[in-house]
Amino acid sequence: MTNSNSVAAISRDDFGTAFAKARPGKRVAGRIQVGSFASGIEISIPFLILKGARPGPCMWVNGHVHGTEINGTWAALDFFRRLDPAELSGAVIVTPTANPLAMDARRKTAPQDEQDLDQTFPGNRKGLVSDQLSAALFEQVSAHADLLVSLHTMGPLFVSEPYGVYKVHPESTVSEEHLLRLLRHFHPAVACRMSVTPGAGELPGNVPGAIDYQMLARGKPAFMVELGFGNSTDPAFIEQGALGLIGVAAESGILPKPARAPAASLKRVTRRTHVMTSAGGLFRARVGAAVEVAAGDAIGEIVSIYGEVLTEVSLPGNIFTIGVRRDPVVHTGDRCAFVALEWDDYDVR
């Protein structure tokens, strides 16, 4: 990297010193040590630091927590590359991947423990390897960042347009309006207020263990952006992500102005659900992502291996599609769509 000071892998206890020592205008690249493989090869989290000419807040961008969600890594790197330190007030830290074990294995989760990393925050230094990764990251994020953007994509089996996801923490000082004011810079298809209550139509697991929710609990603005789908590089979605990050930096006083005007209004989703298949077969979608579908109209159909339509997939109420399955092979209980059930238009002031 040109104009950068590379630092060797550092102990997680030394990150604070490395951050304090980073000179304004110099890009610093390094790695936070977490552990090692049997062969001795290091397990570590790569990071980039850039401080501006003037003091200000620290924005942390995490490229991905799920190893296949590469558009987020690209968007974080493209954003970082474009930063002009002369214009910067404060600092930007990028972790291109928080889950190197999963990325290197081309999987969502680390094969060593199969944990969803984004359900393990704030982490555990004595836990399974994913717990140790999340602890190493979160100790530094919570100590140094004033706000966090956690980038994701949908899984590789779906198509979707970029959208935002945020949670509301009951005891946090961060308001929903503040999060939507930041999110509008991404021009998301929808901004989903995700419930952390078990059984709310989300996937099972420890939803409060998401890094953004743990930051909200500490009074710091944090949210997720989903930039398309996994195992893929999509230039338009990556650019949408990079421009959104510039907008968030501008909204937070780190950059002088956004690269483009933010969305004036957001489609705020307050209830959503996965749509599971009843029968196995081949799913053929009839609609794309980010479209409204009237009550009873089919999202798609499931066709038997003999070519007959086994069932049409529809819902009793109006829906807005967030993601639609593109991989046709489905078994009973597989997800064929991810849809909004309730939404409104939210004007950001």
DSSP state of 85: G
Closer by beta carbon to Zn ion, 33 or else 71 = 71
Residues 147-166 that bind Zn ion (CB under 5 A): 152
Peptide bond into 188 cis (omega under 30): no
Closer by beta carbon to Zn ion, 69 or else 212 = 69
| Minimum CB–partner distance for residue 69 and Zn ion (Å) | 5
| Minimum CB–partner distance for residue 98 and Zn ion (Å) | 11
Question: Which of 12, 27, 51, 66 contacts Zn ion by CB under 5 A?
Answer: 66
Q: Which stretch binds Zn ion (CB under 5 A): 133-141, 146-154, 231-239, 276-284?
A: 146-154
Closer by beta carbon to Zn ion, 69 or else 139 = 69
Residues whose CB falls within 8 Å of the CB of residue 237, separated by 6 or more in sequence, listed in order: 71, 75, 153, 162, 227, 228
Closer by beta carbon to Zn ion, 33 or else 97 = 97
Q: At what angle do helices 70-82 and 235-251 cross, to 10 degrees?
A: 50
| Minimum CB–partner distance for residue 322 and Zn ion (Å) | 14
Q: Which amino acid, residue 128?
A: L
Q: Which stretch binds Zn ion (CB under 5 A): 5-13, 66-74, 131-139, 341-349?
A: 66-74
Q: How far apart are CA 165 and CA 322, in angstroms?
A: 11
Is residue 51 a contact residue for Zn ion (CB under 5 A)?
Answer: no
Pairing state of beta strands 27-36 and 42-51? antiparallel
Q: Is 233 exposed, middle or buried (0-12, 13-18, 19+ CB in 10 A)?
A: exposed
Closer by beta carbon to Zn ion, 70 or else 246 = 70
| Number of other residues whose CB lies within 10 A of the CB of residue 303 | 17
Question: Residue 300, SS3?
Answer: strand
Q: Does residue 60 contact residue 139 with C-beta atoms inside 8 Å? A: no
| Minimum CB–partner distance for residue 110 and Zn ion (Å) | 14
Q: Which stretch binds Zn ion (CB under 5 A): 48-56, 58-66, 91-99, 316-324?
A: 58-66
Q: Which stretch binds Zn ion (CB under 5 A): 36-44, 63-71, 203-211, 335-343?
A: 63-71
| Minimum CB–partner distance for residue 258 and Zn ion (Å) | 25
| Minimum CB–partner distance for residue 154 and Zn ion (Å) | 8
| Number of other residues whose CB lies within 10 A of the CB of residue 318 | 16
Q: Which stretch binds Zn ion (CB under 5 A): 19-27, 145-153, 231-239, 298-306?
A: 145-153
Q: How far apart are CA 230 and CA 83, in angstroms?
A: 26
| Minimum CB–partner distance for residue 335 and Zn ion (Å) | 14
Distances (CA, A) of 33 to 15, 91, 100: 10, 22, 12
Number of residues in contact with Zn ion under rule CB under 5 A: 3
Q: What are phi and psi of 161, to 5 degrees?
A: -90, 155
Nearest position to Zn ion, beta carbon? 152
| Minimum CB–partner distance for residue 205 and Zn ion (Å) | 12
Q: Does residue 224 contact residue 213 with C-beta atoms inside 8 Å? A: no
Q: Which stretch binds Zn ion (CB under 5 A): 67-75, 163-171, 190-198, 299-307?
A: 67-75
Expressed in percent and rounded to 5, the helix, strand and coil fractions of the chain are: 25, 35, 40
Binding site for Zn ion (CB under 5 A): 66, 69, 152
